[in-house]
Each structure stands twice: as structure tokens, then as C-alpha cells.
Amino acid sequence: MDFDLATGLAVLERTPRTLAEMLGGLPAVWTDATEGPDTWSPYVIVGHLIHGERSDWIPRAEIILARGTDRRFTPYDRLAQFRESQGKSLRELLDEFARLRAQNLATLGSWHLTDTELALTGEHPDFGAVTLRQLLATWVGHDLGHVAQIARVMAKQYRDAIGPWRAYLPIMDR
Amino acid sequence: MDFDLATGLAVLERTPRTLAEMLGGLPAVWTDATEGPDTWSPYVIVGHLIHGERSDWIPRAEIILARGTDRRFTPYDRLAQFRESQGKSLRELLDEFARLRAQNLATLGSWHLTDTELALTGEHPDFGAVTLRQLLATWVGHDLGHVAQIARVMAKQYRDAIGPWRAYLPIMDR
């Protein structure tokens, strides 16, 4: 499927509410659960999504749209949430994510992006030239990847509890 | 993590609202998308969850709790939704799922299950003896597996659209 703004936005605008329903008020045995050492809990993942709202998607789009001579993106800090989420409840993080996402989608909408602009490029630290269209499609895919990850992390907590059904639930061993 | 009723219920009661936020009103290019021939779209998956509410979890729990001499479960029909969802909109399916899940959780709550009852067994067509505790834990894991699947099916629609970022989004090739 090609990326287009309306279809992509339909996912981006739903993610905060999806996560609020999935995680809001859930016991900490679920929201602090991980897949093992150095893997992320739902709590950590929400912090990571917040960092993306602040530092990744819109700031990189702005670099592209500025059409400057230096269009290098700032490298993304994959561990920022361990610092930035400190002292915050999951409820606070979910609200913060919803607020930032709404702001960012308002910014995106205010640009009235044309196909020409969507074809402009920035310079990714690892990949080199990437288009604004690819950046925005990745924003969508990144959301969905982390929604799937949250569900998987939670599911695996019952890997043993389900007994022989483990053979029928591939998520338990993914 | 061991299964316990309150913790498991916290997930089961959230799934209908999670799916309603994730999928409600979403364009059909997302909700009818699949991972290829003979794989399921989000629309098909919601129908499958509905069939489980009608024919799997609570009916099997009832077989176990009846403590009869024949505790064999009815084999599960993994293709029922292709018949049963016919003519229904996704909105109707999401509402039907929410209604059936609420009914089933009310039934479950009315049983006031004890540890002794949770240890009772039924006979799974493939696995043989399984406990009520394992059945209920599987209900939770099954929900989460399908939430993850829905997110993955949707994400993969942008597998090409994200360009080089595919290398960083493992969900695209899972």
C-alpha cells in the first residue's frame, strides 16, 4: 500500500486512545512486565513513544521541509525514556503521549503537504537520503510495531500459565 | 506469572474497547488488509474473537465445571467467522464482541471461582487434560495474540512505503 496522508493519519490519531484503553488502570504486573533482561515493558514503550513525539517525527519533518543544505537528522536516542519517564506514572505518560500526538498532528495538518513536499529528502544517520513520505509512513509503522510489542510482552507473562495451549499461541515464543 | 482471576480479567475487560479504538471508523484499506493469501484481516480477526465468545471460552469452562464423566470440549471452528460475519459491518462486529464479552465476564464473575474449581480439568481434543485455570489464562493470551496480530497485519501494509527503515522495524518481516 502506498502512503497517503489521510490513511496514515487515521492510524496515528488512534494510537493514544488505543494505548489508553489497553493500559490505563492495568495492574503493574502487566505494565512493568518485560520479555527478559534489557527488554522493554509497556511502561517503557510509552515513554519511548513520547520521546519520538518530541524528538523524532516532527523535528525530522521540519529538517526536510526547511530545504537547507544540511538536512542531517539528529540521531535518535533509544534510551531517552529511561531518563525522561522517571517519577511519572503510566497514567501521566499516556496523557502526555496523547497531548503531544494531538499537537504534532495539528502541526502536520497545518502544513497542507503536497506530493512535491512529500518527495523532499533528509539525511538519515544510517540510511542516507530518505523522503518525507517514507518518514511519515515509518511513524505509522512504528506505532503499530509498538502496539504489537506491548501485546506480545503482556501475552508472554502467561507463557507457562496456559500449559499445553502454548503450542497453539505463536505469540508466546515470538 | 501465575494466572489469577483479577489480573486476567483486567485484560479481558479491556480488549473490546482497545479494538474499538484501534479499528472503529478506520478506512477499509486497513481493516480488510491481510498478510497474503489465507491470512486474516482485522475484520476477520474480530469475527474470530466473537466466535470464541460464543463457542469456546465460557462453553468449555461450563463443561469443566459440570464435573461430568464426559468432559470433552467441542473442537473449535477456526473458520466460523467467514460464515458468521457475512453481511455485518466492522462496527457491528465490534459492538457484538463488546456485548458478548461483557456478558461472558458477568457469567465468569457470577461463578465466584475457587482455587479448587480452577484446578478442575476438561479434555481438549488435541492436548488431553487441561485445567480451568489454563483455559482462562489462554483466553487472555489469545486476546493479546490477536491484538498483536491486528497491529502486525496493519503495519505490513507499509512494508515498502517505509523504504530503508524496514531494517529497523522487525514487525514488517515477522
Q: What is the pLDDT of residues B8-19, one digit of tens each?
A: 999 999 999 999
* Euclidean distance between CA atoms B47 and B106, whole angstroms: 21
Tens-digit pLDDT string for chain B (174 aa)? 999 999 999 999 999 999 999 999 999 999 999 999 999 999 999 999 999 999 999 999 999 999 999 999 998 888 999 999 999 999 999 999 999 999 999 999 999 999 999 999 999 999 999 999 999 999 999 999 999 999 999 999 999 999 999 999 999 999
Q: Do A11 and B26 touch (CB under 8 A)?
A: yes
Q: What is the rounded average pLDDT for all residues in chain B? A: 97
- Residue B24, CA distances (Å) to A11, B20, B70, B94 in order: 11, 5, 41, 8
* Euclidean distance between CA atoms B143 and B149, whole angstroms: 10
- Residue numbers in A near B14 (CB within 8 A): 21-22, 26
* Assigned C-alpha cell, A41: 515493558
Q: What is the pLDDT of residues A24-76, one digit of tens each?
A: 999 999 999 999 999 999 999 999 999 999 999 999 999 999 999 999 999 88
Q: How many CB atoms lie within 10 A of CB B109?
A: 11
Residue of B2, B5, B9, B11 to mutate when probing chain A, most A C-beta within 10 A:
B11
- Residue A122, CA distances (Å) to A40, A59, A66, B79 in order: 29, 11, 10, 46
Q: How many CB atoms lie within 10 A of CB B114?
A: 9
Do the beta carbons of residue A97 and residue A50 sit within 8 Å?
Answer: yes
pLDDT of residue A145: 98
Nearest to B163 among A134, A165, A167 (CB): A134
- Residue B167, CA distances (Å) to A21, A61, B163, B170 in order: 30, 20, 9, 7
For the question of whether the overall pTM of this predicted structure is more than 0.90, the answer is yes
Q: For residues B21-45, b (16+ Cβ closer than 10 Å) or e, as one string?
A: bbbeebeeebbebeeeeeebbbbbb
Q: Do B170 and A145 touch (CB under 8 A)?
A: yes
Q: Do A127 and B163 touch (CB under 8 A)?
A: yes
Q: Do A148 and B140 touch (CB under 8 A)?
A: no
Residue of A nearest to B167 (CA): A127
Q: Do B26 and A10 touch (CB under 8 A)?
A: yes
Angle CA A70–A72–A75, to nearest 5: 150
- Residue A52, CA distances (Å) to A143, B75, B95, B168 in order: 10, 45, 33, 14
Residue of B nearest to A21 (CA): B18
Q: What is the pLDDT of residues B142-164, one digit of tens each?
A: 999 999 999 999 999 999 999 99
* Euclidean distance between CA atoms A25 and B94, whole angstroms: 22
- Percent of chain B at pLDDT > 70 equals 100
Q: Which helix (H) or strand (E) holds A121?
A: strand A121-124
pLDDT of residue A78: 86
